[in-house]
Amino acid sequence: MGYMGLVKNPRASKDTFLQMLHCNATTINTPLESNGLYLALKAVELNSDLQILNNAAVQFDTDLPEFRTMSGVTIHKDGRTVTAPVLMWVKALDLLLDRLKIAGVDFSRVASLSGTAQQHGSVYWQKGVHQKLQSLQPNRFLHDQLRDAFSLADSPIWQDSSTTEQCQQLENAVGGPEKLAEITGSRAYERFTGSQIAKVYQTKKAVYNNTERISLISSFACSLFVGDYAPIDYADASGMNMMDLKTKEWSPQILQAVAPDVEAKLGTPVPSYTNIGPVSKFYVERFGFNPQCRVIAFTGDNPASLIGMRLKTGDIAVSLGTSDTLFLSLRQPKLILEGHILSSPIDKDGYMALLCFKNGSLTRERIRDSCVEGSWKLFNELLNSTPRGNFGNMGVYYDIQEIIPSVKGDYRVNKANVQLSKFNSKEIEVRALIEGQFLGKRAYAEDLGVSLGENTRIFATGGASNNSAILQVLADVFNSPVYTLEASNSAMLGSAYQAKYGLVRSDTSFAEMTQNLPPPVLACEPSRDANEIYAPMVERYRALIKNITNQK
């Protein structure tokens, strides 16, 4: 699942905003294609100044061992079907609220709450549950009352890759992958919800017919709080391959290809900051919530991370983890085949782009190990001993088939663009790797329409963001200052900020609302000659990739 947040009422100084994290992810800004795991359900309470007051967590595998999940999921025999028990999430919520209470949260002071969950997964509510949701009894556990609420006990989640056939059908229905990406922001992906729903319809007709409502994991969690089916928000809906990104309506062509009568089961999507309604009576009576406490739409974890990082248009977030990811806000959607365009969670007319690079830290570790036997310190010494531009040498290193560009293998060229089988020093190898990784990111960011300028800021997160030698290269290649962010709770904080934003947005902008939060920490400034050196190298990088692709 994801995260939730509760927030204190800004007008009454004693009230709080509670942000609750719904599923807990070890990687908070879990990229759509990364290996982020959702091990728990977490929550945080913020005061009206958005400072953290309390938090709590429930670990799925250890706190709820009866569901026998590993890292919160069940991998089926075929190795491609990956699910999670819905009731485990419900039970985790019961437990989480108890833990929050023990941690000292006074629910009566919570002004609003919101949440976030792993993207793409879907929940199937059984016919007739609508009424049950509205009349939950406060003296009984939620999981006890919702035991029979789901037509599908095991929800398909983002790790599932069993719907290749249905992906093909969706792309064929609209005229190919490019057309699907143009409509929805992404070509068909197995984990995206459209193909998952189509699979349920095709392989489990009785389940499909017995389903009253289909939620994303985010809107499912939100439904539990409002005691009614909560709408899917635009940002998370962008991870379904079903919503027309421009009109924010379900695409009729796609709906038809997914399954009959699916529109009625999905409801109408809403802007991500929508104030949906008061918390249900169940929470008022069982946990002492204030009946005025509002529930703001829940969203996916990637959009919530964007909120948590407080990215402005022009900012670029670079996560340097197992995989590297790059995400940013956009005013206009851009057609990309390898990457994702989503509706912005804080501006219904804005967009965000998300690109994933599979060859991130593991590739950096391989070159580190081959050059300096595992020491980042020595790696950095080599990196710092070579000049910007690496004497004209350049390299790209892809241990596994990369997404963008679709290339595998190591390629090195010298100043004259002649391909080399190896460089003649370790220093050059190390710098070529790091420069090559960032030149690619800059090239693809520019392809998205980003124009680097005086106001561009780079936000670095992930394991390698504590390496200042690597960050200096990042600053130089992008010719922009690099700031570091504590990413480990950006999605959770993002949904807490959303809890407040959903309440106050008619009076204040998101930027104003968050202006008193501590500013990001400046890690590196670009060197004076950075643009002179790297602008031409980006063009050489493009030529190199073109050359490699043509050779294949």
3-state SS, residue 299: strand
Of 117 and 123, CB closest to ligand ADP: 117
Least separation in angstroms between CB 467 and ligand ADP: 3
499: Cβ contacts below 8 Å, ≥ 6 apart: 5, 6, 7, 17, 18, 19, 46, 111, 112, 113, 114, 296
Instruction: Pick one of 103, 141, 337, 376: the residue that binds ligand ADP (CB under 6 A).
Output: 376
Does 365 engage in binding with ligand ADP (CB under 6 A)?
A: yes
Question: Cα-flanking dihedrals φ and ψ of residue 502, to 5°?
Answer: -60, -25
Shortest Cβ 27–ligand ADP spacing (Å): 4
* For ligand ADP, the closer CB: 69 or 323: 323
Task: State in angstroms the smallest separation of the CB of 234 from ligand ADP.
Answer: 27
Of 462, 502, 520, 526, which one interacts with ligand ADP (CB under 6 A)? 462
- Binding ligand ADP (rule: CB under 6 A), the pick from 292, 361, 508, 514 is 361
Q: What are phi and psi of 130, to 5 degrees?
A: -50, -50
Q: Helix count (H) and strand count (E) of the chain? A: 21, 26
- The encoded tokens of residue 401 equal 């088939």
Site of tokens 């017995």: 210
Residue placing its CB nearer to ligand ADP in the complex, 343 or 363:
363
Residues 30-48: b if buried by 16+ CB within 10 A, e if exposed: bbbbbebbbbbbbbbbbbb
Region near ligand ADP per CB under 6 A, out of 171-179, 247-255, 384-392, 457-465: 457-465
The reply to whether 464 sits near ligand ADP by the rule CB under 6 A is yes
Distances, alpha carbon 210 to alpha carbons 143, 204, 265, in Å: 20, 10, 11
Task: Please tell me the count of residues contacting ligand ADP according to CB under 6 A.
Answer: 14
3-state secondary structure of 81: coil
How far apart are the C-alpha atoms of 319 and 327, rounded to whole Å?
A: 8
Segment contacting ligand ADP by CB under 6 A, of 174-182, 220-228, 286-294, 361-369? 361-369
Q: Which of residues 504-523 bind ligand ADP (CB under 6 A)?
A: none
Distance of CA 91 to the CA centre of its chain: 24
Long-range contacts of 517-521 (CB under 8 A, 24+ apart): 517/50, 517/310, 520/457, 520/459, 520/483, 520/484, 520/485, 521/483, 521/484, 521/485
Residue ranges in 466-495 that form contacts with ligand ADP under rule CB under 6 A: 466-467, 470
Query: Is residue 322 a contact residue for ligand ADP (CB under 6 A)?
Result: yes
Part in contact with ligand ADP (CB under 6 A); list of ranges 181-189, 300-308, 338-346, 456-464: 456-464
How far apart are alpha carbons 22 and 507 in whole angstroms?
A: 28
For residue 305, the minimal CB distance to ligand ADP (Å) is: 12
Q: How far is the CB of 382 from ligand ADP (least distance, A)?
A: 13
The 4-33 contact track toward ligand ADP, x by CB under 6 A, reads: -----------------------x------
Would you count residue 384 as binding ligand ADP (CB under 6 A)? no
Give the shortest CB-144-to-ligand ADP separation in angstroms. Answer: 35
Nearer to ligand ADP, 172 or 361 (CB): 361
Distance CA 429, CA 437 (A): 12
User: Which residues make up the interface to ligand ADP (CB under 6 A)?
Assistant: 27, 34, 321-322, 361, 364-365, 376, 462-464, 466-467, 470
